[in-house]
Amino acid sequence: MSASDIYPPPSEVSINAHINSYEKYKELYDKSVQEPSEFWGEIANSFYWRVPPPPPFLRYNFDVTKGDIFIEWMKGGVTNICYNVLDRNVHDKKLGDKVAFYWEGNEPGDSMSITYSELLGKVCQFANVLRAQGVKKGDRVSIYMPMVIELVVAMLACARIGAIHSIVFAGFSAESLCERILDSHCSLLITADGFYRGDKLINLKRIADDALKKCTEKNHPLGKCIVLRHLGRDDSVCDGTNKTSPPCKRPCPDMQTMWNPSRDQWWHDLIKDVSLECEPEWCDAEDELFILYTSGSTGKPKGVVHTVGGYMIFTATTFQYVFDYHQDDVYWCTADIGWITGHSYLTYGPLANGATSVLFEGLPIYPDISRMWQIIDKYNVSKFYTAPTAIRLLMKYGDEPVERYSRKSLKVLGTVGEPINPEAWLWYYNVVGGKRCPIVDTFWQTETGGHVLTPLPGATVTKPGSATFPFFGVVPAILNESGEELEGEAEGYLVFKQPWPALMRTVYGNHQRFETTYFKKFPGYYVTGDGCKRDSDGYYWITGRIDDMLNVSGHLLSTAEVESALVEHSSVAEAAVVSHPHPVKGECLYCFVTLRDGHEFTKTLSDQLKNLVREKIGPIATPDYIQNAPGLPKTRSGKIMRRVLRNIAKNDRDLGDISTLADTSVINQLFENRCQTVH
Ligand code: PRX
C-alpha cells in the first residue's frame, strides 16, 4: 500500500454507521448549507431549552465593508449546557449509572471511574461552592489544573452557574498564566497542589503562586484561589509536609510553606457538607461559555470566545458523526483539556452524547513504550483520537510494542492538530488499526470550536494526509492573493464562506482584533490562516500556516511571542524565529539572534536563551536551535525575510527571488554561521 492509494470505509463500520455512504453525506451536507436554520433547528430540538430559540435562528455579517462582524445562532433561546450534558443524561435518558469517565493516572494502577450521576452530584456541589465564593453569571474563572476529573467538575460547575471558564494549559508558565488572568479579568483561580508528568514533579501551586504575585504587581490582586489536593489525596498518611514515615514514594510539594491563608482554600474543605443539588443558571444561547487563549501573530495571545448554544449543538453533532458514536463505545481522546480539543472532544461533545470516555493523566511512553496500547486493551477503547506528533513518537519504537496488545476493540482512529504525513498515517492505519479502522483526519481550530474539514468513518473514502471534505454547515473556499475564489484543482488561502454554530464570536475584550485577524484580508470570508490544496477529486489538503505562526507538536505558537521573549535578554539586540521541520514534533523553533555590541555568542548564552523562552511561555516553546546572526536579511523597508531564514535553517541555498533584500552579504555570513548553531 502506498500513500497515493485510497481507503474506502470498511463495510464493518459502514453497516451500522449513522452516515453510511457518500450519497447520504452529500444529501445532508447540501441541506445543511442551503438551509442552515432548518438543518440546525432540527438538531437543536433534541436539546433541552427552557425557552426554545425564537426566529431568526441565525443572523450574521461576515463582510467588514458592510458593518461590524457578528454571528448569532439561536439568540433568545434559553438553556444551560451543563444541564444538557449531565441532568438530561441522568434524568431523561436514564444514563445515571453509566460511566462518564475512566480516569487513568500517570502511574499504571492509579485509576478510578465516575458515573453520570456521580459527576452531576460533584458538579452541582462545586457549583454551590463557587456561588458561595461570590462567583456570579458572567464572571471569569481561571482554571489551571492537571488532567483530573475535578478539572471537568470545575469547568462544568462554571457552566452551570453561567460563569465563564478560562482554562490555561498546565504546561504554561507563571508569566503566561498571569497574562491570561489579567486579560480576562478573572476573579478566582482554581488550581492543584501538583502532579507528576512521568517521573517529573510539576509543582503547580508554586507556579500559580508566582503568577498571582505577578498579577498583584500588575495591580490585579486575586483574592481567591481554590486548591485541589491531587497528590497523595488517597494516601491517608500524607500530610503534605513530606515528613511522613515511611516517606512517600512520590513526594508532594510542601504546601505549608506556600499557603496564603487569606487567599488559598482547599477544595476538599470547601465541599464539606455542601449540597449535591444546584439549580442551573438559565442562559441565552449567545451568552459566553468560555474563553480559551490561542497564539496570535502579533505576539499577545487572543482570548477566543465561544457561546453556549451554538457550541453545544455543534460539538455534540460533530462528535456523534465524526467518531460515528454509538452507546456501547468507549472513547479516548488523548488531548489535554487545556486545549480546545480537550474542551470540545473530551468534555462537551462526548458528555452531550452520554459517552463513556477515558481521561488520561500520563504520558504516551511512561512508564513504558506500550502504555497507550495497554490502556486501549484495559478499557476496550473503540474510538481513539490523538495527534500526529504522538503517532510519530510511538512509530519510532516500531511495531512490536503495539503488537504486544490486541487492540481488537478499536473501530475508528482520529487525528488532529497538524498535518499528518502519509508515512505516519499509514503506520497508524496498518499497525495501530490493523487495517480495519478508518482514520478521521480532522482539521479545525480553537476558533472553529469543532471539526470543519473531516472524513466521516462510514462514508468517506480517505486519502492519507487529506482532511477530505467539509462537515455539515461548513462551506470552504480557496482564494488566491487577490481574493478570487479558485475552482477545481487549486492551492491558496483556506477560507469559509458562512458561519456554522460553533464559530468563535469575538476576541475577548477586543472585537476589533477579531475583525482584523479573521475578516479583514478577504471581506466576506472567515480566514483560517492556513494554506490549502484541493485535488482533482475535490479533496482538501492542509499545507500548513501561512501567517507568522508555527505548530510545534500540534500546539500553535507565534514567532512574535518567542521573539519578544528572546529580546528580553540583555545580550540580545534583535531576534527572528522561524519554523523548522522536526521528525517527531512536526515543526520546531529555529531562532536567529543578533547580539548587542560587546556580547559573545556562547553555549551558556544559548542555554540561557532557551530557558528564558521556557520560563516566559512554557516548555512547549523551548527552542531547538539558537543561531548567532550578526545581521538579518531585511527588505529595504526593514521587514525580515523569514522565507530566506527558513532556507538558511535547512541549509537550502535555493533562495528564490531575493532582489528586494537590502543587503545580500548577510546571507553568506548566515550560512557560514550555521556551524555556530547550538542544538
Ligand atoms: O494549522 C492548523 C492546524 O492547527 C491549527 C489550529 O491550532 P489550534 O487552534 O491550536 O487547534 C488545534 C486543535 C484543533 C490549524 O490552523 N491543524 C489542526 N488540525 C489539523 C491541522 N493541520 C492539518 N491537519 C489537521 N487535521
**Ligand 1 lined by 340 (C-beta under 6 Å):** yes
8 — phi, psi (to 5°)?
Answer: -70, 155
Instruction: Note whether 478 and 491 are within 8 A (CB).
Output: yes
**Ligand 1 lined by 556 (C-beta under 6 Å):** yes
Distance CA 667, CA 648 (A): 8
Q: What is the pLDDT of residues 559-578, one digit of tens each?
A: 888 998 998 999 998 899 99
Lowest model confidence (mean pLDDT) among 186-190, 248-252, 413-417:
248-252
One-letter identity of residue 301:
P
**Ligand 1 lined by 20 (C-beta under 6 Å):** no
Q: Does domain 126-282 correspond to CATH entry 3.40.50.980?
A: yes
Q: What is the pLDDT of residues 52-109, one digit of tens each?
A: 999 999 999 999 999 999 999 999 999 999 999 999 999 999 999 999 999 999 999 9
Instruction: Note whether 433 and 425 are within 8 A (CB).
Output: no
Q: Whose CA is nearest to atom 24 of ligand 1?
A: 419
pLDDT at 13 over 50: yes
Q: Which ligand 1 atom lies nearest to the CA of residue 419?
A: 23
- Taken in order 276, 328, 42, 306, the sign of the CA dihedral is positive
pLDDT at 291: 98
Lowest model confidence (mean pLDDT) among 367-371, 387-391, 542-546:
542-546
Sheet with 356-360, strands from edge to edge, namely 111-115, 99-104, 356-360, 330-333, 383-386, 412-416, 439-442
The superfamily CATH assigns to domain 551-676 is ANL, C-terminal domain (3.30.300.30)
Distance CA 377, CA 379 (A): 6
Mean predicted confidence (pLDDT) in 37-41: 98
> So where are the chain's domains?
126-282, 551-676
**Ligand 1 lined by 442 (C-beta under 6 Å):** yes
Q: What is the DSSP letter of 147?
A: S
Q: Whose CA is nearest to atom 11 of ligand 1?
A: 445
Choice from 418, 460, 493, 620 to test ligand 1 binding pocket (greatest atom count within 8 A of CB) = 418
pLDDT at 1: 43
